[in-house]
Chain A
Amino acid sequence: MTEPIVIRKGRPGFDGAAITVRGAKKSFGKFEAIKSLDLEVKQGEFFALLGPNGAGKTTLISLLAGLARADAGELSILGFDVNKEYRQARRAVGVVPQELVFDPFFTVRETLRLQSGYFGIRPDPKWIDELLENLQLRDKADSNMRSLSGGMKRRVLVAQALVHRPAVLILDEPTAGVDVELRQTLWKFIRRLNDEGMTILLTTHYLEEAQTLCNRVAMMKAGQIIALDTTQNLLAHHSRPSLTLSLDQGKALPAALMARATSLPAGRFRLGLEDFAEVEQILASCRSEGLEIKELEVGQADLEEVFVRIMRDTPR
């Protein structure tokens, strides 16, 4: 376990971006799923691609992985054009698809051996064992894929994406349906791969995952990137600390405060703060109306709030 993981560190002598997208467009019939999109992910980054359902994240990943063809634009992995140099491009990338797919004819180990073969490499039993170990699939190695639970199937998809030791790993909602403990071990493993130099592109709806793992974040909406910055900058520029108050059920905040508050379940209200000194004024105004505050919590900025704000402030 302490042995370093050997991955392909990219392309010798190439110091360009791991992922380059220039002017990519994709329509389904009349519907524009991707509208002239540019993106660059540098080698070694842990990059988050966020966006609401239907924003176009999976479509963009499909274009990068060669699962669909762009109508216009250029896409490359480590400088290899995904169409013209598809062999090199596909060898450089591992993709964990969003859909839970599997081949019911085979066991977990057979699946991984086949996937190695498709990539033109001899199955490496040591690496396959290491993947199974790290993804906690060891005791399922010889079970048929059909007999696995959803979360286990998801982990096999992660292992499949890694059999050829790609330089770039693309994860499309890898933690959907995976339990807490395994989510943590999965991230520990992916983080280690990233430390060894693997570039990671991640989409997820669990924003705290993106916040703790990713150094840069792109937010998509309706086929376009509407925000792109380091996680730190996004938090610093778009997020404020907040105050959450619990009142008795049915009670409301004073009207002036109510106007800027977000109602949460169970009689709770959240207020964004310009600075911490505001807390005192808010409490005073509640007290003057005789409201009893049952609980009080001052929250730090988080990516979820940034996300909600950016999505709200950007018209379609």
Chain B
Amino acid sequence: MRGFTTLFGKEVLRFWKVSFQTLLAPLVSTLLYMLVFAQVLDSHAEIYSGVSYREFLVPGLAMMAMLQNSFSNTSSSLIQSKLTGNIVFILLPPLSPFEIFAAYVLAAMVRGFAVGACVWIASLIFFPHFPAHPFELLVFALLGNALAAVLGLLAGIWSEKFDQLAAFQNFLIVPLTFLAGVFYSIHSLPPLWRDISRFNPFLYMIDGFRHGFFGVSDIAPLESFVIVAGCAFALSWLSLSLLSRGWRLRN
């Protein structure tokens, strides 16, 4: 247990020591999005009745910031350790694959939550609000952060160079988050794109999260929950089995 808590603590400390970059920077960029999009596009029709575009944006942007930060915490920590070689400090001790998995993923989730909380608090400046279903909101935030953290872990394990990780991020994570309905409702898409979007697990995270905020969404929250939880479970299982085999880490 101490092995796990130490590794978890170290991972939290790692981003905390550079919180300017890991917490403040994402907060600032998310607020810029809010400012610009909300100013330019607020005249747009309401997406859901009673929800202005500016309000609509908040949960999507908060979730996007959380996902990107959880992802980048696990992935950048792992790739840095692999490239500098100090991954041996984690591979030599008697840490089990599960301890390693849990420590990395939970620490990334802490960062995701911290960023999400900051974004939400700051968004109160734009408009005061309180989530319709706080518990639901929390569940989706939890699952979303976990899924992104696990994806980051997989990307970190798989990558052998920085540019491979960057490719993973730029060609998979960023498009999936941007196309997950952060800035629009999928009902505003042409039917083909709407059907394609249905294969994007990030869509369900953001949509479910938004339901927690407003009590309205494109997809039934239970459906979103099942899909997101299923993906998180499957990817966790995959990363645990890769860690147990030592794939790309112990060779």
Contacts and interface: CB of A to CB of B under 8 A. Distances in A.
Interface size class of B (residues with CB under 8 A): 20 to 34
Give the 8 A-B CB pairs with smallest separation, nearest first.
A117-B6, A118-B93, A101-B85, A87-B94, A90-B94, A101-B86, A103-B86, A120-B3
Consensus secondary structure, chain B interface? helix
B96 interface: yes
Contacts of A160: 89
B91 A67 contact: yes
Interface in B83-111: 84-86, 88-96
B236 to A, nearest CB: 21
A99 interface: yes
Contacts of A91: 94
Given A67-B250, A69-B250, A119 B94 contact: yes
A66 B250 CA distance: 7
Interface in A74-117: 86-88, 90-91, 95, 97, 99, 101-105, 114-117
A133 to B, nearest CB: 22
Given A103-B89, A160-B89, A86 B94 contact: yes
B2 interface: yes
Interface stretch (B9-17, B22-30, B56-64, B217-225): B9-17
B6 A87 contact: no
Interface in A55-77: 65-69
Interface residues of A, number: 29
Nearest to A145: B86
Interface of B: 1-3, 5-7, 9-10, 13-14, 17, 81, 84-86, 88-96, 246, 250-251
20 contacts: A65-B92, A66-B92, A67-B92, A68-B251, A69-B246, A87-B94, A90-B93, A91-B94, A97-B88, A99-B88, A101-B84, A103-B81, A103-B86, A105-B13, A115-B93, A117-B7, A118-B95, A120-B2, A122-B2, A164-B93
Interface of A: 65-69, 86-88, 90-91, 95, 97, 99, 101-105, 114-122, 160, 164
